[in-house]
Structure 1
Amino acid sequence: MQGFNDIGGLIIDMDGVLWHGDQALPGLTAFFATLRELKLPFVLATNNASITAEQYVAKLANMQVDIGIQEVLTSGMATAIYLSERYSPSETRVYVIGSAGLRQPLLDKGFILASEHDEEAVQLVVSGLDKTLTWEKLCMAALHIQAGAGFYGSNGDVTLPSERGFLPGNGATLAALAAATGVTPTTIGKPAPIIYQQALTLLSVPADRVIAIGDRLDTDILGAVQTGIRSVLVLSGISRESDMQALDYGPTWVMQDIQELTEALRQ
């Protein structure tokens, strides 16, 4: 396959690429065995900010794949990195809508997290997927933003695929807060290039030798295009090949799944 012999590293999405829910997709262990055999560095980069890197490592271990913490980059981690480069964590109070996958990286960077009902001034409001979202949390976040706090989102995914159908994602929360405050948030996850740029730094591989792997055109592939790196759309998740017809961008390659990708890497 043309262009597949100059790969120096991979940025890989997880849900829809490596698994569906808790079910590993066919070829998972062979895919990672091939990456190790070829000594191809990779970063598993996901918009999901609801769980921690440690939980992803444990999830893959349950699927018979061993990876290191340093090979995972969630949008929660990316948000903490981004903010720590622009604010002094020990002097910055943050009101967080979200779970441990967003809160823990911020704590690890030294930010001060405000409690749910704390009305004392904060410098930042950061929102990620929160499955215990309440009216009061929205009210507190909106009041802080209206008072001048910076407004950030770990990711802008409006919907969250589930066995029940498409549920409201963090993008829906951000939309509600934007409507209530008139302030547009800065989002860190895909398709914004921020998380990809951080993954490139972790890889220490030139961008023209890195390929992004994903199952969503509107996040994984658009993010790669906006970062200036090549990409593979795998058809094992959300997007279909026919979805590309209405877009003015697209992946470099389209493959059925990680099994086909593994074969291409081995050629």
Structure 2
Amino acid sequence: MQTFTDIRALIIDMDGVLWHGDQAQAGLIEFFAALRQLNLPFVLATNNASLTAAQYVEKLAGMGVTVALPEVLTSGMATALYLSKLYQPEQTRVFVIGGIGARQPLLDLGFTLTGLYETGPGQGADLVVSGLDRELSWDKLATATLNIRAGAKFIGTNGDTTLPTERGVTHGNGAILAALQVASGVSPTIIGKPEPIIYQQALELLGTDMATTIAIGDRLDTDILGAVRTGIRSLLVLSGVSTTADLQNIDYAPTWVMADIREVTQALTSSAKIRPDTL
């Protein structure tokens, strides 16, 4: 049994960790019950920008788990916050590929969103933001390409090339970014994991330090690498994308590797019994 030491907060991925698509992972309710019982604060930080924080709260409620809005941070939210510090929202036009989870945070911060084929002088976008879009179309890709080629800054909410679902692993936002990059000749700036931006924002929300906060995720190339780049410890669960075989092909590593959140729950509760002063 693996144990933990000096953990005071968690940054937890969702897809592949808490669920596959609409199918909850076994032990989901018990995992959150343990976090509440141990008084461990957490932020659910996901690269998936397809839903809003409120929609994720609703999704978890449908699975029998209650979380609050401030406990959710999506890459869409992280992107909007990041851009609001670089640009004046009320003077900045954005074309978005993505669902409400990518669009609403930008609107909330005062950005103006442009529509299909609003391109050219005076009508085009200053920024193109691409997130996971389940209604992706030729027209959306064309509008994004035209804006980027006209000089709009190209931003990706995340670079995940794949997405675990209840039907298996399918394409993620990184596949959309790749298409736009090939069409425009411009590489995107990535906001989500493995870049440290979303982890740094989560740490600010938690009010904890790097030494006592750990990240839990299912992807080595995003969740774990992002934690390494941020300077925090990490835990890989094998219930999503990455496997133990993948560990042999990287030059970094998670602090812990566990099968799923059921094993994480067991380790958390056992560690609390052994060293109650550290949790």
- Normalising TM by the smaller chain, what interval? over 0.9
Per-residue deviation at 1:18? Answer: 1.1
Matched, 1:161 2:164: yes
User: Which residues in structure 2 correspond to 1:64-83 (within 5 Å)?
Assistant: 64-83=64-83
Q: Deviations over 1:218-251 (max 9, x none)?
A: 1111111111110011111111112101111110
Q: Deviations over 1:148-183 (max 9, x none)?
A: 111101111112334554433211111111112221
User: Which residues in structure 2 correspond to 1:165-204 (within 5 Å)?
Assistant: 165-204=168-207
Runs of 4+ in structure 1 over 6 Å off: none
User: Which residues in structure 2 correspond to 1:67-216 (within 5 Å)?
Assistant: 67-119=67-119, 120-216=123-219
In structure 2, C-alpha distance between the alignment counterparts of 1:121 and 1:204, rounded to whole Å: 39
Helix, strand or coil at the partner of 2:234: strand
TM-score under structure 2 length normalisation: 0.92
Counterpart amino acid of 2:161? V
In structure 2, C-alpha distance between the alignment counterparts of 1:16 and 1:159, rounded to whole Å: 11
Task: Among all aligned residue pairs of Structure 1 and Structure 2, give the percentage whose two residues are the same amino acid.
Answer: 66
Please say if residues 102 and 131 of structure 2, whose CA atoms lie closer than 8 Å, have aligned partners that are also in contact. yes
Counterpart amino acid of 1:84? S
Please say if residues 16 and 164 of structure 2, whose CA atoms lie closer than 8 Å, have aligned partners that are also in contact. no
Per-residue deviation at 1:13? Answer: 0.6
In structure 2, C-alpha distance between the alignment counterparts of 1:263 and 1:93, rounded to whole Å: 48
Map of 1:58 onto structure 2: 58
Map of 2:29 onto structure 1: 29
Change (3 A) 1:3 1:197: farther
TM-score under structure 1 length normalisation: 0.95
Change (3 A) 1:66 1:150: same
Q: Which runs of 5+ in 1 are unaligned?
A: none
User: Greater RCO between the two (CA within 8 Å, min separation 6)?
Assistant: 2
Q: Which runs of 5+ in 2 are unaligned?
A: 272-279
Matched, 1:263 2:266: yes
In structure 2, C-alpha distance between the alignment counterparts of 1:107 and 1:58, rounded to whole Å: 21
Helix, strand or coil at the partner of 1:34: helix
Please say if residues 20 and 164 of structure 2, whose CA atoms lie closer than 8 Å, have aligned partners that are also in contact. no
**Structure 2 residue corresponding to 1:251, chosen from 250, 254, 262:** 254
Q: How many residues align?
A: 267
After superposing the two structures, state which structure 1 stretch, 3-12 or 150-159, moved more: 3-12
In structure 1, C-alpha distance between the alignment counterparts of 2:170 and 2:23, rounded to whole Å: 20
In structure 2, C-alpha distance between the alignment counterparts of 1:199 and 1:253, rounded to whole Å: 20
Counterpart amino acid of 1:125? V
Helix, strand or coil at the partner of 2:235: strand
Change (3 A) 1:2 1:264: closer
Counterpart amino acid of 2:159? G
Counterpart amino acid of 1:79? T
In structure 1, C-alpha distance between the alignment counterparts of 2:204 and 2:224, rounded to whole Å: 19
Map of 2:16 onto structure 1: 16
In structure 2, C-alpha distance between the alignment counterparts of 1:44 and 1:107, rounded to whole Å: 22
After superposing the two structures, state which structure 1 stretch, 202-211 or 171-180, moved more: 171-180
Counterpart amino acid of 1:13? D
Helix, strand or coil at the partner of 2:135: coil
Change (3 A) 1:23 1:162: closer
Change (3 A) 1:126 1:228: same
After superposing the two structures, state which structure 1 stretch, 14-23 or 161-170, moved more: 161-170
Helix, strand or coil at the partner of 1:167: strand
